[in-house]
Amino acid sequence: MIKIAGIGDIHTAFDEEDVSLFNSSDYDLILVCGDLPGRSHKQTVSIGSMLSRLKRPALMIPGNHDSTTVRQLLGEITGSNRLKREDPKMPGRVQELRDALGSVQLGGYTIHRFSKQEGWVDGPADLDIISARPHSMGGPDIGFAPYIESQFDVKTQEDSARRILELLQNSKSSLRLILAHNGPSGLGSFPRDIWGCDFDPDRGDFGDPDLESALGQAVDTDWAPQVVLAGHMHHALKGGGERTWYVNRNGIHYVNAARVPRIFRENGEKRRHHVRIELDRTDVQVEQIYW
Ligand SMILES: [Fe+2]
Ligand SMILES: [Fe+2]
Protein backbone atom coordinates (compact mmCIF):
# COMPACT_ATOMS: atom_id res chain seq x y z
CA MET A 1 0.00 0.00 0.00
CA ILE A 2 1.13 3.56 -0.73
CA LYS A 3 0.47 5.71 2.35
CA ILE A 4 -0.49 9.31 1.64
CA ALA A 5 -1.12 12.23 3.99
CA GLY A 6 -3.65 14.68 2.51
CA ILE A 7 -3.46 18.12 4.10
CA GLY A 8 -6.47 20.35 3.44
CA ASP A 9 -6.65 24.17 3.36
CA ILE A 10 -3.89 25.25 5.76
CA HIS A 11 -4.89 28.92 6.24
CA THR A 12 -1.78 29.55 8.42
CA ALA A 13 -2.25 26.36 10.52
CA PHE A 14 0.98 24.43 9.86
CA ASP A 15 3.92 24.73 12.23
CA GLU A 16 7.19 23.20 13.51
CA GLU A 17 5.24 20.51 15.36
CA ASP A 18 3.57 19.43 12.10
CA VAL A 19 6.96 19.26 10.39
CA SER A 20 8.34 16.91 13.06
CA LEU A 21 5.15 14.81 13.24
CA PHE A 22 5.04 14.28 9.47
CA ASN A 23 8.82 13.69 9.31
CA SER A 24 8.56 10.90 11.89
CA SER A 25 5.37 9.39 10.39
CA ASP A 26 5.04 6.30 8.16
CA TYR A 27 3.77 8.30 5.16
CA ASP A 28 5.33 7.75 1.72
CA LEU A 29 3.96 10.96 0.27
CA ILE A 30 2.40 14.25 1.39
CA LEU A 31 -0.20 16.11 -0.69
CA VAL A 32 -1.33 19.65 0.10
CA CYS A 33 -4.59 21.06 -1.28
CA GLY A 34 -3.52 24.74 -1.12
CA ASP A 35 -4.82 27.93 0.56
CA LEU A 36 -1.76 28.43 2.76
CA PRO A 37 -2.31 31.99 4.05
CA GLY A 38 -4.75 34.09 5.94
CA ARG A 39 -4.75 37.16 3.71
CA SER A 40 -1.18 38.08 2.84
CA HIS A 41 1.31 36.74 0.32
CA LYS A 42 3.95 36.98 3.07
CA GLN A 43 2.04 34.25 4.97
CA THR A 44 1.90 32.07 1.83
CA VAL A 45 5.69 32.33 1.53
CA SER A 46 6.30 31.64 5.22
CA ILE A 47 4.01 28.55 5.30
CA GLY A 48 5.65 27.48 2.01
CA SER A 49 9.06 27.61 3.75
CA MET A 50 7.66 25.53 6.62
CA LEU A 51 6.43 22.91 4.11
CA SER A 52 9.91 22.89 2.49
CA ARG A 53 11.21 21.22 5.68
CA LEU A 54 9.16 18.08 5.06
CA LYS A 55 11.50 15.16 4.46
CA ARG A 56 9.04 13.17 2.31
CA PRO A 57 8.15 13.61 -1.35
CA ALA A 58 5.49 16.32 -1.28
CA LEU A 59 3.30 18.15 -3.76
CA MET A 60 1.02 21.14 -3.43
CA ILE A 61 -1.62 22.64 -5.71
CA PRO A 62 -2.17 26.39 -5.28
CA GLY A 63 -5.57 27.53 -4.01
CA ASN A 64 -7.42 30.76 -4.69
CA HIS A 65 -5.63 32.37 -1.72
CA ASP A 66 -2.12 31.44 -2.87
CA SER A 67 -0.14 34.13 -4.71
CA THR A 68 -3.28 36.21 -5.30
CA THR A 69 -4.20 39.56 -3.74
CA VAL A 70 -7.20 40.78 -1.78
CA ARG A 71 -8.04 43.02 -4.78
CA GLN A 72 -8.04 40.00 -7.11
CA LEU A 73 -10.18 37.94 -4.71
CA LEU A 74 -12.65 40.82 -4.44
CA GLY A 75 -12.80 40.90 -8.24
CA GLU A 76 -13.54 37.18 -8.36
CA ILE A 77 -16.26 37.47 -5.70
CA THR A 78 -17.96 40.60 -7.08
CA GLY A 79 -17.40 39.79 -10.78
CA SER A 80 -16.00 43.31 -11.33
CA ASN A 81 -14.03 43.28 -14.58
CA ARG A 82 -11.90 46.19 -13.37
CA LEU A 83 -10.74 44.22 -10.31
CA LYS A 84 -10.48 40.91 -12.21
CA ARG A 85 -8.12 42.31 -14.85
CA GLU A 86 -4.68 40.75 -15.27
CA ASP A 87 -2.28 41.29 -12.38
CA PRO A 88 1.19 41.40 -13.98
CA LYS A 89 2.78 40.56 -10.61
CA MET A 90 0.96 37.23 -10.12
CA PRO A 91 3.56 35.08 -11.99
CA GLY A 92 6.26 36.60 -9.77
CA ARG A 93 4.32 35.77 -6.62
CA VAL A 94 3.80 32.18 -7.82
CA GLN A 95 7.57 31.95 -8.41
CA GLU A 96 8.20 33.23 -4.85
CA LEU A 97 5.95 30.46 -3.53
CA ARG A 98 7.76 27.90 -5.69
CA ASP A 99 11.13 29.12 -4.34
CA ALA A 100 9.88 28.96 -0.73
CA LEU A 101 8.63 25.37 -1.21
CA GLY A 102 12.13 24.11 -2.11
CA SER A 103 11.83 20.42 -3.02
CA VAL A 104 8.04 20.38 -2.52
CA GLN A 105 6.56 20.33 -6.03
CA LEU A 106 3.98 22.89 -7.14
CA GLY A 107 1.26 21.45 -9.36
CA GLY A 108 -1.09 22.92 -11.99
CA TYR A 109 -2.04 20.92 -15.13
CA THR A 110 0.90 18.65 -14.38
CA ILE A 111 1.60 14.98 -13.88
CA HIS A 112 3.86 13.83 -11.05
CA ARG A 113 5.15 10.25 -11.11
CA PHE A 114 5.78 8.66 -7.73
CA SER A 115 7.74 5.50 -6.93
CA LYS A 116 7.52 4.04 -3.42
CA GLN A 117 11.23 3.12 -3.58
CA GLU A 118 12.69 6.18 -5.35
CA GLY A 119 10.28 9.08 -4.72
CA TRP A 120 9.61 11.34 -7.73
CA VAL A 121 10.67 9.68 -10.99
CA ASP A 122 10.52 10.44 -14.73
CA GLY A 123 9.81 6.89 -15.87
CA PRO A 124 7.30 4.22 -14.85
CA ALA A 125 5.78 4.90 -11.46
CA ASP A 126 3.71 3.16 -8.79
CA LEU A 127 1.32 6.12 -8.67
CA ASP A 128 0.69 9.05 -11.02
CA ILE A 129 -0.67 12.21 -9.45
CA ILE A 130 -2.49 14.48 -11.84
CA SER A 131 -2.69 18.04 -10.66
CA ALA A 132 -5.83 19.80 -11.96
CA ARG A 133 -6.52 23.53 -12.55
CA PRO A 134 -4.65 25.69 -10.01
CA HIS A 135 -6.11 28.63 -8.01
CA SER A 136 -9.71 27.40 -8.39
CA MET A 137 -12.40 29.62 -6.81
CA GLY A 138 -15.14 26.98 -7.33
CA GLY A 139 -18.31 27.33 -9.36
CA PRO A 140 -18.87 27.81 -13.09
CA ASP A 141 -16.24 30.52 -13.74
CA ILE A 142 -12.50 30.00 -14.13
CA GLY A 143 -10.87 31.79 -11.21
CA PHE A 144 -8.10 34.26 -12.11
CA ALA A 145 -8.90 33.73 -15.78
CA PRO A 146 -6.30 36.17 -17.22
CA TYR A 147 -3.52 34.34 -15.37
CA ILE A 148 -4.83 30.87 -16.27
CA GLU A 149 -5.07 31.88 -19.92
CA SER A 150 -1.63 33.50 -20.12
CA GLN A 151 0.19 30.72 -18.24
CA PHE A 152 -1.65 27.61 -19.47
CA ASP A 153 -3.47 28.70 -22.64
CA VAL A 154 -6.75 27.61 -21.03
CA LYS A 155 -9.66 29.93 -21.87
CA THR A 156 -12.77 27.85 -21.10
CA GLN A 157 -13.95 25.05 -18.84
CA GLU A 158 -13.86 22.82 -21.97
CA ASP A 159 -10.18 23.68 -22.62
CA SER A 160 -9.45 22.89 -18.98
CA ALA A 161 -11.37 19.58 -19.03
CA ARG A 162 -9.42 18.53 -22.14
CA ARG A 163 -6.11 19.32 -20.39
CA ILE A 164 -7.01 17.26 -17.32
CA LEU A 165 -8.24 14.36 -19.46
CA GLU A 166 -5.02 14.40 -21.54
CA LEU A 167 -2.97 14.18 -18.36
CA LEU A 168 -5.01 11.17 -17.23
CA GLN A 169 -4.55 9.55 -20.63
CA ASN A 170 -0.77 10.19 -20.46
CA SER A 171 -0.54 8.30 -17.20
CA LYS A 172 1.29 4.99 -17.56
CA SER A 173 0.66 3.83 -14.02
CA SER A 174 -2.22 1.62 -12.98
CA LEU A 175 -2.76 3.85 -9.92
CA ARG A 176 -3.86 7.46 -10.38
CA LEU A 177 -4.85 10.23 -7.98
CA ILE A 178 -6.13 13.69 -8.93
CA LEU A 179 -5.03 16.56 -6.68
CA ALA A 180 -7.18 19.67 -7.04
CA HIS A 181 -7.88 22.75 -4.93
CA ASN A 182 -11.63 22.32 -5.37
CA GLY A 183 -13.49 19.11 -6.17
CA PRO A 184 -15.68 18.42 -9.21
CA SER A 185 -19.25 19.54 -9.71
CA GLY A 186 -21.82 16.76 -9.85
CA LEU A 187 -21.64 15.84 -6.16
CA GLY A 188 -22.95 19.08 -4.62
CA SER A 189 -26.72 19.49 -4.96
CA PHE A 190 -27.12 20.43 -1.29
CA PRO A 191 -25.13 22.89 0.88
CA ARG A 192 -23.90 20.06 3.16
CA ASP A 193 -22.66 17.99 0.20
CA ILE A 194 -18.96 17.40 -0.31
CA TRP A 195 -18.61 20.45 -2.65
CA GLY A 196 -22.06 22.01 -2.18
CA CYS A 197 -22.41 25.76 -1.69
CA ASP A 198 -23.22 26.62 1.93
CA PHE A 199 -22.67 30.40 1.73
CA ASP A 200 -25.35 30.85 -0.97
CA PRO A 201 -27.61 27.77 -1.20
CA ASP A 202 -29.22 29.17 -4.39
CA ARG A 203 -25.93 28.49 -6.18
CA GLY A 204 -26.29 24.77 -5.43
CA ASP A 205 -23.25 22.97 -6.69
CA PHE A 206 -19.92 24.77 -6.22
CA GLY A 207 -17.67 22.08 -7.70
CA ASP A 208 -15.42 22.58 -10.73
CA PRO A 209 -17.21 21.75 -14.02
CA ASP A 210 -13.93 21.07 -15.88
CA LEU A 211 -13.00 18.37 -13.39
CA GLU A 212 -16.49 16.82 -13.56
CA SER A 213 -16.28 16.74 -17.36
CA ALA A 214 -12.80 15.14 -17.39
CA LEU A 215 -13.86 12.55 -14.81
CA GLY A 216 -17.07 11.81 -16.71
CA GLN A 217 -14.99 10.93 -19.76
CA ALA A 218 -12.46 8.92 -17.74
CA VAL A 219 -14.82 6.85 -15.63
CA ASP A 220 -14.96 3.16 -16.64
CA THR A 221 -11.87 3.58 -18.85
CA ASP A 222 -8.31 2.40 -18.19
CA TRP A 223 -7.27 5.92 -17.21
CA ALA A 224 -9.87 6.62 -14.49
CA PRO A 225 -8.33 7.79 -11.19
CA GLN A 226 -8.88 5.81 -7.99
CA VAL A 227 -8.91 8.95 -5.81
CA VAL A 228 -9.76 12.66 -6.14
CA LEU A 229 -8.31 14.73 -3.28
CA ALA A 230 -9.29 18.40 -2.90
CA GLY A 231 -10.39 21.05 -0.41
CA HIS A 232 -11.61 24.64 -0.77
CA MET A 233 -15.16 24.08 0.52
CA HIS A 234 -14.40 24.06 4.24
CA HIS A 235 -16.00 21.36 6.41
CA ALA A 236 -17.73 23.80 8.82
CA LEU A 237 -20.94 25.04 7.24
CA LYS A 238 -22.30 28.55 7.38
CA GLY A 239 -25.24 28.33 9.79
CA GLY A 240 -23.74 25.32 11.62
CA GLY A 241 -22.99 21.68 11.01
CA GLU A 242 -20.36 19.93 8.94
CA ARG A 243 -20.32 18.93 5.29
CA THR A 244 -19.78 15.40 3.97
CA TRP A 245 -16.02 14.95 3.54
CA TYR A 246 -15.95 11.60 1.68
CA VAL A 247 -17.97 10.11 -1.18
CA ASN A 248 -17.47 6.93 -3.22
CA ARG A 249 -19.09 7.25 -6.66
CA ASN A 250 -18.56 5.01 -9.71
CA GLY A 251 -15.51 3.44 -8.09
CA ILE A 252 -13.78 6.80 -7.47
CA HIS A 253 -13.02 7.87 -3.90
CA TYR A 254 -13.66 11.62 -3.43
CA VAL A 255 -12.00 13.24 -0.42
CA ASN A 256 -12.49 16.80 0.84
CA ALA A 257 -9.63 17.46 3.30
CA ALA A 258 -10.53 21.09 4.17
CA ARG A 259 -11.04 20.91 7.94
CA VAL A 260 -10.54 24.62 8.84
CA PRO A 261 -8.96 25.52 11.18
CA ARG A 262 -6.83 22.39 10.79
CA ILE A 263 -5.22 23.05 14.18
CA PHE A 264 -7.74 23.57 16.97
CA ARG A 265 -8.37 22.92 20.64
CA GLU A 266 -10.62 20.15 21.90
CA ASN A 267 -11.13 19.54 25.63
CA GLY A 268 -8.13 21.79 26.29
CA GLU A 269 -5.87 19.80 23.96
CA LYS A 270 -4.37 20.88 20.65
CA ARG A 271 -5.49 18.72 17.72
CA ARG A 272 -4.14 18.63 14.14
CA HIS A 273 -6.17 17.36 11.21
CA HIS A 274 -5.20 15.58 8.01
CA VAL A 275 -6.55 12.75 5.89
CA ARG A 276 -4.85 9.38 5.56
CA ILE A 277 -5.18 7.60 2.21
CA GLU A 278 -3.77 4.11 1.63
CA LEU A 279 -4.04 2.58 -1.79
CA ASP A 280 -2.89 -0.24 -4.00
CA ARG A 281 -4.30 -1.94 -7.10
CA THR A 282 -7.11 -3.65 -5.24
CA ASP A 283 -8.01 -1.42 -2.32
CA VAL A 284 -8.36 2.21 -1.17
CA GLN A 285 -8.72 3.16 2.51
CA VAL A 286 -9.47 6.72 3.64
CA GLU A 287 -9.77 8.13 7.15
CA GLN A 288 -9.57 11.46 8.96
CA ILE A 289 -6.71 11.69 11.45
CA TYR A 290 -6.56 14.02 14.44
CA TRP A 291 -3.07 14.18 15.93
FE1 LIG B 1 -9.82 27.66 1.91
FE1 LIG C 1 -9.95 27.96 -1.46
- Residue 61 is part of a domain; what is its CATH number? 3.60.21.10
Q: What's the gap in Å between 23 CA and the centre of ligand 1?
A: 24
Element of type H or E holding 274: strand 269-279
- Domain of 173 in residue numbering reads as 2-290
Q: What's the gap in Å between 61 CA and the centre of ligand 1?
A: 12
pLDDT tens for the 291 residues of the chain, in order: 999 999 999 999 999 999 999 999 999 999 999 999 999 999 999 999 999 999 999 999 999 999 999 999 999 999 998 999 999 999 999 999 999 999 999 999 999 999 999 999 998 999 999 999 999 999 999 999 999 999 999 999 999 999 999 999 999 999 999 999 999 999 999 999 999 999 887 888 999 999 999 999 999 899 999 999 999 999 999 989 999 999 999 999 999 999 999 999 999 999 999 999 999 999 999 999 999
Q: What's the gap in Å between 233 CA and the centre of ligand 1?
A: 7
Q: Looking at the 3D structure of the chain, how many domains does it have?
A: 1
Q: What angle do CA 251, 276, 189 make, to 5 degrees?
A: 50
Ligand nearest to the CA of 182: 2
Q: What's the gap in Å between 102 CA and the centre of ligand 1?
A: 23
Residues whose CB is under 5 A from ligand 2 (ion)? 35, 63-64, 232
User: Contact 36/48 with Cβ under 8 angstroms?
Assistant: yes
| Neighbour-count burial of 88, counting CB atoms closer than 10 A to its CB (0-12 exposed, 13-18 middle, 19+ buried) | exposed
Q: What's the gap in Å between 65 CA and the centre of ligand 2?
A: 6
